[in-house]
Amino acid sequence: MRESVKILLNMMVFFGREEIKLLLEYATGSDNGDWKGISKEADFIVVILSSKRAPRNDYKGKNCKPTGFHTRKGIDLTTRNNSDIIQRMRMDDSWRCMMGMYKLFLNLKINQFKFHNDDKNEMLVLQSLQPHRNLKRLTISFYGGSEFPYWVGDPMSSKLLCLNLRHCRKIRILPPLGQLCFLKELSIDGLDGLETIGPEFFGSDLHSVEPFRSLETLEIKNMSEWREWSHFFGVQQADVRFPNLQRLVLQNCPKLIGNLPSRLPCGLTHICVEDCDALESFPIVDSSTGRQCLLKELEIRNCYSLKYFDRNFNFPSSLTRLTIVNCRNLVFLPDGLMLDVGVNDSKSHSHLEYLEISGCPLIPSFPTGKFPAALNELRIGGMMRLGSITGEMFHENNVLERVEIWNNDTLRALPSINSMRSLGHLSINNCPALESFPKMGLAIPTLRYLAIQNCPNLLSLPKPELSHLPSLRTFIMSNCRGVVSLTEEGGLPPNLTTLQVRDCENLRQPMAEWGLRMLSSLEILQVDGICDAVANVVSFLDDGGCLLPASLYTLWMGDFMNLESISMGLQMLTSLTHLVIQDCPKLQSFPKEAIPPSLLRINMCGCPLLKGDYMKLKNGEDRPTVEFF
């Protein structure tokens, strides 16, 4: 096949009817815009697509009124001669008259043939596509040159509001984008050849033009070779403040060592730093201007080399969400997270509502004090040195609704949390040292979800009885080898809808004593894992079906090692739609007459004595689907 280079320019724009005709005439050299019959063996293919119209108030000029003409049909403009198409697409007065253009996507994909290393051709093509200065949104993707043409960062020829540079993998230097006075959104994504963002990024004349004076959103993502963000002009460090920046995102920049702006602007409301493996420190938020800090969301994830925040860094009182995840070398948390126990909550200025700190094993202890009164959700995990969480931390907190604690090797006891009058979700997972709940138990009438998982040394469930939790809907207990009794005289919470008991090998209280038949709202029941509670179950259910409530629609049974038969009592579960039976090696009797009419699906695994008989059910028109694994 003949070697060729195909450049796809996906120019998703809004044109009026006359502008479409003008573009065709200009690009094809034809007076009637006829592009039919062009050779399929051309060196270049230009695809032009239109998009939705711009907002009505973005049209300016007498010839730029919305016409409602926006087609998705592709237009192929081709030629055998690359210099010919470059000559055709050069900017002249005809192209620059297209003032109705609002949004432009230049998607340049070049096959790896004879021009794949020709920077000059790349530059000429993109240089020839300079749009009208009234363009508001521009995206350039897959450009193959080593630098952008002058017009991309020229403030005299641009009123851009939004600029996206994507997957231009050979770019080694950025244009002076800081000089684009109207630019509000800037996204730089996948520029793999870029190692340094230097002073050229801000522009050469910092004294007469403040760089990025209108920029509100800055996103830099997927920069595999980016190492340094330099603010030095010669030997002097420039004080670049991004005066109106509100959102900063740095994502998947694994070699970025540091040198973030030394003072982040106080107008920032959202900061996200993720997958920046080499980043060692985090700067402070600038307060020298006297303006109040507005930061609301700070998210730091998977920054494995991050050791510390700037020594003068404090969490601002404006912060509503704080997330620090998988920062394995972080050794301390800055001040401003907790409040003094003696401080009256009504006088606290903290607005923190969401706090997640996980995967930070070197933090020696949690900061002292109490959580802010506004805290609504708390997630703490992977802090191996965190010995205990004291009750004082939750002092007089009336709005906390969700608490999750996981992957903690030293937590031995939970504090008294009965003061949390709004707590609805409590999850404890993989805390092998946990031995007990607080002596006062869990007298929380608002609790709806309780999960205790992978706590092998937990000796008992909280007292008083779980039946004192009238709002509890979901209760999960898994891999708690020390628990011997699920409930006592009080029974289980009366309004449970989901109950899961898994891998509690020392649970001795027989299943018949759990009081399941009293749970009139129970919908999902899962009991699996070898334990004494089901060791003596030979027939399930009892013939009267009184063991389980009729409200069940999912029943999961596993590791009933001595189970031999399913009784006719199963037919009493008139709402049952899904039945799972696994690892019941002695099960040999399951009368088809016991299947309730509501049952739609049966999953069986590890029941070898039943497989041959129940395979016949697969083709029955009025029978449930049966699957064996």
Residue 491, pLDDT score: 80
Torsion over CA of 224, 228, 229 and 231, rounded to 10 degrees? -160
Quote the CA–CA distance of 256 and 225 in Å, as a whole number: 8
**pLDDT, mean of residues 428-438:** 89
Residue 490, pLDDT score: 67
Residue 416, pLDDT score: 76
CATH number of the domain at 473-628, please? 3.80.10
* Tokens standing for residue 55: 């907002």
| SS3 state at 209 | coil
Residues 314-354: tens digit of each pLDDT: 888 889 999 999 999 998 888 778 887 766 655 567 889 99
Residue 17, pLDDT score: 41
Using alpha carbons, list the distances in angstroms from residue 61 to 12, 68, 133, 134: 21, 17, 13, 10
Indicate the burial class of 257 (C-beta count within 10 angstroms; 0-12, 13-18, 19 or more). middle
Using alpha carbons, list the distances in angstroms from residue 71 to 7, 15, 404: 21, 10, 51
Which one, of 199, 265, 195, 205, lies nearest residue 232 by Cα?
199
pLDDT surpasses 60 at 47: no
Which one is predicted more confidently, 214 or 17? 214
Quote the CA–CA distance of 102 and 99 in Å, as a whole number: 8
Residue 462, pLDDT score: 79
pLDDT surpasses 70 at 141: yes
pLDDT surpasses 50 at 413: yes
pLDDT band at 4 (very low <50, low <70, confident <90, very high): very low
**pLDDT, mean of residues 179-195:** 95
pLDDT surpasses 80 at 105: no
| SS3 state at 357 | strand
Residue 613, pLDDT score: 54
Residues 558-585: tens digit of each pLDDT: 999 999 999 888 988 999 999 999 999 9
Residues 6+ apart with CB under 8 A from 517: 546, 547, 548, 549
What are the domain boundaries of the chain?
Answer: 42-52+72-233+240-245, 473-628
pLDDT surpasses 70 at 435: yes
Residues 451-477: tens digit of each pLDDT: 999 999 998 887 766 888 899 999 999
pLDDT surpasses 80 at 233: no
Residue 98, pLDDT score: 52
Residues 273-297: tens digit of each pLDDT: 999 999 888 877 665 555 678 899 9
pTM: 0.81
* Tokens standing for residue 544: 């009267």
Cα angle 352-358-363, degrees, rounded to a multiple of 5:
95
